[in-house]
Amino acid sequence: MTVTVAKPDLYPPSVKPAARALPLTLSILRFVRNPLRSIPRAVYDQPIVTYGKKRPLIAWVTGSALLENILIKNAELFPKTPLDKRVLRPVVGEGLLTAEGDHWRWQRKLASPLFRPGDVLGYVPTMVEAANEQVARWRARGSTHIAAIDEDMTDTTFAVIARTILAGIDETEGAEIQRTGRAYIRPIMWSVASALMLLPESLWHPGRRNMLKAAREGRDVVQRLLNKRRAHGVRGDDLVARMLATRHPETGDAMTDEQLIDNLATFLLAGHETTAKALTWTLYLLARSPEWQERVRAEVMAVTGGRPLQADDIAKLEITQRVLKESMRLYPPVPAMTRVNREATDIGDVHFPAPALIVIPIYIVHRHRALWDDPDKFDPDRFLPEREAKHTRMQFMPFGVGPRVCIGAAFAMIEATVVLATFLQSASFAWDGRHEPEPISRVTLHPAGGMPLGVTIS
């Protein structure tokens, strides 16, 4: 007689929220450690929660109708916040991520053709190559070993962006951009906290000097990259070529060097760190759930027979994409977005004088008690077509929603699918039975203590 033992459900690490909104100083201390910890528990249950005794200063918004109003119906009344800009400007200036109005529209129109799903599929061979190079690096370190998965995923996704959207970066430049990016992010929550407290931008905070130095050094590398492309004549149809050739529709002006660097820095950062985090958390979940790891591998082998992935395999990798979506639900690589109200306005029943800070905590929307059944459980079948059809438009938004939706969403989904599937053709991932990393917001969602996983290469 065979006895089947039901596998226990997987509840992977989550953030322990504050029981209630804390006084400002305590809240800031928690915020610097992990902004998600400073958000009160009530935000997981209610559509809107406010902070501020005399007048509401901050609103955490998760309700679908409220979000639809802010992000879609009246998006022009709720622009991105000066806070975002202040924190990111030293690196990405007024590039696509931070620009507003006409300057944003022009840049968005310029970059959009590079991101059409049909065109992105043309990058699949490059994505396969980058994933196989990672497998080769793992193999060179020994057939079974403990890998720093978060760092490995950053290397892999950086290789993809550097060879596709931003062709022409060499290894030394790549390493320098990654180093300066990491140095900038490390103390970033001090900078966010300082902006939240409306302290002057020039005021000292821990790590400020290193951040500004890293930003300057990173932008210098991008400037050198630009000079190199100009010196060799601009060929190809990557972002650099398109941006060098473009003229402003009204003024006829070319982009200034500063505008070019703003956008190259934007795409270099936004285009790899996010997808790296999606892959890092997905491999963690698969290491914690060997059954799902086996199901995904079986699907990949059935579709590809072990040969390199091709563009038309992607739509057939349904289980793989279901797992990626569930991973981005539990661990959205961008855990929060912020907006500000241009004018005094009502959000739900609350009146907000302008400006108030509107926080859209994607991480909490994805774990909201009113939106999801057993929200902290890992269950990729939530994204079976018949169940996904019942989701509301605003309950799953890893790429944001509305006019400022991620321009790289299709690129990222295709890349994550190709890289994950390629890994599973020859690698397996194991959990040590102990590591339960808290998800920490550092603009993107980092695992506290990194992501050591056992890797075995067949």
The contact set with ligand HEM (CB under 6 A) reads 80, 96-97, 108, 165, 266-267, 270-271, 274-275, 278, 333-334, 337, 398-400, 404, 406-408, 411-412
Pick between residue 191 and residue 266 the one whose CB is nearest to ligand HEM: 266
Shortest approach of ligand HEM to residue 299 CB, angstroms? 20
User: In this chain, which residue has its C-beta nearest to ligand HEM?
Assistant: 408
Shortest approach of ligand HEM to residue 330 CB, angstroms? 13
Pick between residue 96 and residue 225 the one whose CB is nearest to ligand HEM: 96
Pick between residue 267 and residue 378 the one whose CB is nearest to ligand HEM: 267
Which are the contacts of 109, defined by CB distance < 8 A and separation ≥ 6?
none
Pick between residue 95 and residue 375 the one whose CB is nearest to ligand HEM: 95
Shortest approach of ligand HEM to residue 279 CB, angstroms? 8
Pick between residue 205 and residue 415 the one whose CB is nearest to ligand HEM: 415
Pick between residue 408 and residue 447 the one whose CB is nearest to ligand HEM: 408
Shortest approach of ligand HEM to residue 100 CB, angstroms? 9
- 248-258 burial: b if 16+ Cβ within 10 Å, else e: eeeeeeebeee
Write phi, then psi, for 177 (nearest 5 degrees).
Answer: -65, -40
Shortest approach of ligand HEM to residue 274 CB, angstroms? 3
Residues 356, 91 contacting (CB under 8 angstroms): no
As a whole number of angstroms, the distance between CA 281 and CA 58 comes to: 29
Residue count of the chain, please give it.
Answer: 458
Pick between residue 28 and residue 413 the one whose CB is nearest to ligand HEM: 413
Write phi, then psi, for 69 (nearest 5 degrees).
Answer: -65, -45
Shortest approach of ligand HEM to residue 267 CB, angstroms? 5
Shortest approach of ligand HEM to residue 302 CB, angstroms? 25
Residues 296, 319 contacting (CB under 8 angstroms): yes
The 10 Å Cβ neighbour count of residue 123 is 21
Pick between residue 37 and residue 339 the one whose CB is nearest to ligand HEM: 339
Pick between residue 229 and residue 329 the one whose CB is nearest to ligand HEM: 329
As a whole number of angstroms, the distance between CA 138 and CA 149 comes to: 10
Pick between residue 47 and residue 408 the one whose CB is nearest to ligand HEM: 408
Pick between residue 205 and residue 411 the one whose CB is nearest to ligand HEM: 411
> CA end-to-end span of the chain, whole Å?
33
Shortest approach of ligand HEM to residue 80 CB, angstroms? 6
Shortest approach of ligand HEM to residue 23 CB, angstroms? 28
Shortest approach of ligand HEM to residue 444 CB, angstroms? 8
Shortest approach of ligand HEM to residue 378 CB, angstroms? 18
As a whole number of angstroms, the distance between CA 421 and CA 308 comes to: 10
